[in-house]
Structure 1
Amino acid sequence: MKHIGITALGMYVPERTVTNADFEGRMGMESGWIESRSGIRERRFAAPGEFTSTLGVRAVQDMLRRDPEALSGVDLVIYATCTPDALFPSTAALVAGQIGLAGVGAYDLSTACSGFVYALSMARGLILGGTARKVLVLGGETLSRALDQNDRDTAILFGDGCGCAVVGEVPEGYGFQDFVLGADSAGGPALYIGHLADQFPDGQPMRDVPTMNGREVFKFAVRVLGDSGTQVLEKTGISNADVDWLIPHQANIRIIEAATQRFGIPMEKTVINLDRYGNTSAATVPLALDEAVRDGRVQDGQQLLMVVFGGGLSWAACTMKWWAGAPSLRADSGKQAPEQPAPGQVSA
């Protein structure tokens, strides 16, 4: 049986940093209120001319700088995003055309913040089924362009960024072990971005900007992160004590703390970077994973658990044994800051 895992990593965050002070002064909030409620200190916003496809190209460029052969054999691109450049062509196809993969299969996947883990599951299944050999998976957003910047419930939480991974065969004993995927549209009105429809199937009105019921999302997130994490550990046949690193969706520090308590993994084993990037939706897990690999926390043979939740409402969890046998998967692979190529330009 083939063993499927991650064989390359890359990431990109825009240069523009937006601090809490930028919101607190404008919205009349007390200094430190945002960080005390969310754990977020700052986030990145895309510059004019930077779109979700641009961020994806630049994440791939970072990956190629660390591993020039990373895209060799890739025959499918999946881009997990809820902020695509267009309804069609897919943002995945736009990225593929700029990185030398024009002509391969390419599609977008929309499960909001759960998207990257969903896409990893799709990539693994397509490889095991023989449809693809290697898959480039991206998770990226430019939520700053979709937000109502005067909405206190959402504007302060979200940021922009992109992480990418190549999924392919890895040695025996490494790679993905199991997945749990779920969705419940009944909770959709609690966290959504509307588009063509002006109401949900039950008649509730729908807005075309990110809309959130924070209280309901908090309760949902704590429950599904804990439950899905427990379920995938049981499916894999390991205990929470076997987990070396938990990589959760970076939405809110209080949600993460409550969820870790729910399935008994200490915060000391939890990768956190939302203080610097905020909630980047589908990009949170690949950004956190990449940073933990770069700084040496995630090492060869360690047991990882990824848990996410998102709008829809959706959730996903994954277990994997980390393989560090490729250039971009080791601690010394990415100390230098990623270069900033112009859109459409990718070089090793």
Structure 2
Amino acid sequence: MSIGIVGLGAHLPDRVVTNAEVAAWADTTEEWIHTVTGIEERRYAADDEATSDLAVAAARAALGSGPVAPPAAILLATSTPDQPQPATASVVQRALGFAGVPSFDLNAVCSGFLYAVVVAEALLRTGPGGTALVVGADKYSTIMNRRDRRTVSLFGDAAGAVVLGEVPAGYGIQASHLLTDGHHAELIEVRAGGTRLPAGDPDDHLFRMNGFVVREYVLRTLPKAVHAVLDASGVRLDEVDRFVFHQANARLVETCAEELGVPPAKVPLTAPLLGNTAAASIPVTLAAAHRERPLRRGERIVLAAVGGGMSTGAVLLTWY
């Protein structure tokens, strides 16, 4: 039994936030943002839009416009849930009208979507069949420190979704690789809001990242994850048609491709216009690549991400 992507969709908020706006918030310059990150603009959701609203829109795009049988499961990858309880996936389930379908959140920060894909594949292999809806959605604009140019320049809001289902043998997910290195958990964090620090300084409720160390960690770890899934499936690097990397920032994606020896033409970029959309990054970029140049049956695609935790994920699939 092979499991692959049989539906794909994304949703972007309407509001465009320019580098000029960010520069004014963070007392920096548009030139600095462009030079360091390669990002020109990003999208912010409206104040009355929650993560679940983004997720529902992306899910509907992936499911299509016609009648759809309920999926066997709904998995939502997010690190910015609507609220601590209940799981935001339950809100998404209600909005989609899929009563009774098991639905849950998964938080592996920017790698969350790939973790959710691997879990969903396992559920479909061991369960009653059917499909699984996997959504990556985040609203990072709510946790940005607008005085910190190193982070506020990077992040935007978005959601992306895929429907996983059975595909013919030889297609779909060929290999996966997941790794978490908790020794570096403090590199990316929101300190307050949980049981360790329920309240505190307002800045403790905002996103923090040790950018330089994270960059070095990504450059060490992401290429290893890519080679791990290729080695597991016996596929050579030059046999892969596209590499969809987490869009941490345009410069880092470009450097990762260079380190791997992958031609830029094989590496789609959404970071310049969308920034880092966290768990939404991989499905949003895959959907954008498909719109720009439709994926062909038989194309080999590597999806890879590094996120807080530190969590790393990679998946090799053959498009059907």
Q: TM-score, normalised by structure 2?
A: 0.94
Instruction: Assess if the C-alpha contact under 8 Å between 2:20 and 2:29 holds in 1.
Output: no
The residue aligned with 1:326 is none
The residue aligned with 2:53 is 54
- Tell me, in whole angstroms, the C-alpha distance in 2 between the residues paired with 1:132 and 1:87: 31
The residue aligned with 1:345 is none
SS of residue paired to 2:150? coil
Does the C-alpha gap of structure 1 residues 241 and 67 become closer, same or farther in structure 2, counting only changes over 3 Å?
farther
The offset of 1:131, in angstroms, is 5.6
Instruction: Assess if the C-alpha contact under 8 Å between 1:9 and 1:164 holds in 2.
Output: yes
The residue aligned with 1:134 is 131
SS of residue paired to 2:33? helix
**Residue identity matched to 2:38:** G
Match of 2:114 among 117, 121, 142: 117
**Residue identity matched to 1:35:** H
More moved, 298-307 vs 124-133: 124-133
The residue aligned with 1:279 is 276
**Residue identity matched to 1:270:** V
Instruction: Assess if the C-alpha contact under 8 Å between 1:8 and 1:67 holds in 2.
Output: no
The residue aligned with 2:227 is 230
Alignment of 1:195-210 (within 5 A): 195-198=193-196, 207-210=204-207
Q: TM-score, normalised by structure 1?
A: 0.87
- Tell me, in whole angstroms, the C-alpha distance in 1 between the residues paired with 2:62 and 2:3: 19
Instruction: Assess if the C-alpha contact under 8 Å between 1:245 and 1:298 holds in 2.
Output: no
Match of 2:216 among 199, 219, 239: 219
Instruction: Assess if the C-alpha contact under 8 Å between 1:183 and 1:315 holds in 2.
Output: yes
The residue aligned with 2:178 is 181
The offset of 1:257, in angstroms, is 2.1
SS of residue paired to 1:138? strand
Does the C-alpha gap of structure 1 residues 198 and 88 become closer, same or farther in structure 2, counting only changes over 3 Å?
closer
The offset of 1:62, in angstroms, is 2.4
- Tell me, in whole angstroms, the C-alpha distance in 2 between the residues paired with 1:162 and 1:108: 14
More moved, 235-244 vs 294-303: 294-303
CA-to-aligned-CA distance 1:96-152 (integer Å, 9 cap, x gap): 011111211000000000011111100111111126531100000011011122222
SS of residue paired to 2:205? coil
Match of 2:100 among 91, 100, 103: 103
SS of residue paired to 2:135? strand
SS of residue paired to 1:315? strand
1:320 matches 2:317? yes
The residue aligned with 2:239 is 242
**Residue identity matched to 2:254:** E
The offset of 1:55, in angstroms, is 0.4
Match of 1:163 among 160, 163, 178: 160
Q: What fraction of aligned residue pairs are identical, expressed as a percent?
A: 35
The offset of 1:78, in angstroms, is 0.3
**Residue identity matched to 1:10:** G
- Tell me, in whole angstroms, the C-alpha distance in 1 between the residues paired with 2:195 and 2:149: 24
1:32 matches 2:31? yes
The offset of 1:253, in angstroms, is 2.1
1:145 matches 2:142? yes
Q: Where is the helix percentage greater, Structure 1 or Structure 2?
A: 2
- Tell me, in whole angstroms, the C-alpha distance in 2 between the residues paired with 1:61 and 1:107: 18
Instruction: Assess if the C-alpha contact under 8 Å between 1:154 and 1:211 holds in 2.
Output: yes
More moved, 267-276 vs 253-262: 253-262
- Tell me, in whole angstroms, the C-alpha distance in 2 between the residues paired with 1:79 and 1:261: 32
Instruction: Assess if the C-alpha contact under 8 Å between 2:25 and 2:146 holds in 1.
Output: no
SS of residue paired to 1:153? helix
- Tell me, in whole angstroms, the C-alpha distance in 1 between the residues paired with 2:178 and 2:128: 21
SS of residue paired to 2:5? strand
The residue aligned with 1:304 is 301
